[in-house]
């Protein structure tokens, strides 16, 4: 205050006259209503001090606002790149037309384990991804996360999902493929069906374009598509289509081209009697390798009594086993001559 008084000591207010009918901040207009409390009179020093005080208040408010803004920006930066996840009713979600998970996948031990984990957590911790279906019901289509969706559907739980407003079919297909290859790989047969569907729908003009767009090996993609195109009888010869492997695509396709009727006949036989056979053995039998699908032995009867057994071995070998007491030693030569009559002379 002393410094301010010193700076304004030489200011004279003697020549000051208020302009008529103009409110100068000190003298109210003549026709103004008298205030209830007498107005405070300002001297020159008071006016300067009021201005200085107001400027300080404004500066303080501005500094406070800047500080609050900086704090808000810092808090917002913590969520930079974060994705909004929301719980959705499974009834509002539909599978993609390129859904690449076979129904057989939902019967596996892996899926049962996933379902148990989601049940214990009260929902899927890892969100699925969906795109909006404008003006349609269901309102959302799965981009990826069919296994997690199925688990929540069976458990009666809402599914936690990232919602994308707009996404093209090609973008959806590519994200679905990448997600599955990065997480739990599809079986070769599932992958082949997915790629084959994309080609049939015109999403990609060729297998080469598909492999380039998705960043997958061209040969692997081609063989997976071959598996997807196998006849249903061949697929049915395996305990599960998930057992099919990429490396079997060419031999199975070649066998079908060389002997389609034979392969299909063996496939139908194996579908009824494959117990104890692993997938590799089934494949070998389909293409004509390994054990024969024919009987391994034939009983020989004399009347109602079994007297011998014709055993059929590998590589076309056969042996006759005569039961004890069924052949008189005195007739060995006769038996050998009779047996020889069944074979062609060279």
Which position has the token pair 């000591």?
9
Could you tell me which residue, 50 or 3, shows the higher pLDDT? 50
Q: Across the strands, what pairs with 141?
A: 94, 131
Q: CATH classification of 82-184 is 3.90.1530.30, yes or no? A: yes
What pLDDT is attached to residue 67? 78
CA-only gyration radius of the chain, Å: 44
Return the closest-CA partner of residue 87 out of 58, 124, 59, 133.
124
Q: Give the three-state DSSP class for 330.
A: helix
At residue 141, the pLDDT reads 93
- Rounded-to-integer distance, Cα 186 and Cα 227, Å: 13
pLDDT band at 151 (very low <50, low <70, confident <90, very high): very high
Residue 18: name the closest of 28, 10, 8, 9 by CA: 28
pTM metric for this prediction: 0.51
**Among 56-60, 279-283, 306-310, whose mean pLDDT is lowest?**
56-60
Residue 3 pLDDT more than 60?
Answer: no
Out of 189-203, 250-264, 297-311, least confident range: 297-311
Distance between CA atoms of 68 and 144, rounded to whole angstroms? 41
* Beta pairing class for 159-164 and 85-88: antiparallel
Residue found by looking up tokens 């920006």 in the block: 73
Cβ burial of 101 (10 Å; 0-12, 13-18, 19+) is buried
More confident residue, 181 or 270: 270
Return the domain boundaries, the chain: 82-184, 297-340
């Amino acid at each position: 205050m002393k410094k301010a008084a010193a700076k304004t000591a030489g200011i004279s207010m003697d020549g000051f006259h208020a302009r008529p009918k103009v409110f100068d901040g000190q003298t109210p207009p003549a026709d103004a209503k008298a205030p209830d409390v007498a107005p405070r009179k300002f001297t020159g020093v008071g006016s300067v001090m009021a201005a200085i005080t107001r400027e300080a208040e404004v500066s303080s408010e501005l500094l406070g606002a800047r500080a609050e803004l900086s704090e808000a920006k810092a808090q917002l930066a913590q969520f930079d790149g974060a994705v909004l996840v929301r719980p959705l009713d499974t009834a509002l979600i539909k599978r993609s037309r390129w859904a690449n998970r076979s129904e057989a996948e939902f019967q596996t031990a892996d899926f049962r384990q996933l379902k148990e984990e989601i049940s214990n957590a009260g929902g899927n911790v890892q969100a699925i991804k969906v795109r909006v279906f404008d003006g349609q019901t269901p309102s959302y289509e799965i981009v990826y996360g069919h296994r997690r969706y199925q688990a929540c559907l069976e458990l009666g739980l809402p599914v936690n999902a990232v919602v994308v407003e707009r996404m093209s079919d090609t973008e959806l297909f590519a994200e679905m493929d990448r997600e599955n290859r990065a997480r739990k790989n599809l079986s070769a047969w599932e992958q082949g069906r997915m790629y084959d569907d994309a080609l049939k729908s015109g999403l990609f003009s060729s297998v080469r374009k598909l492999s380039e767009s998705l960043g997958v090996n061209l040969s692997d993609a081609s063989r997976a598509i071959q598996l997807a195109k196998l006849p249903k009888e061949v697929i049915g010869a395996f305990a599960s289509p998930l057992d099919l492997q990429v490396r079997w695509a060419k031999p199975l396709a070649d066998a079908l081209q060389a002997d389609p009727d034979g392969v299909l006949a063996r496939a139908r036989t194996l579908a009824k009697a494959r117990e104890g056979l692993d997938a590799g053995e089934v494949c070998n039998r389909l293409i004509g390798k390994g054990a024969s699908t024919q009987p391994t032995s034939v009983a020989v009867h004399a009347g109602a009594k079994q007297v011998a057994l014709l055993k059929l071995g590998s590589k076309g070998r056969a042996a006759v086993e005569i039961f004890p007491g069924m052949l008189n030693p005195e007739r060995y030569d006769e038996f050998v001559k009779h047996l020889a009559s069944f074979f062609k002379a060279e």
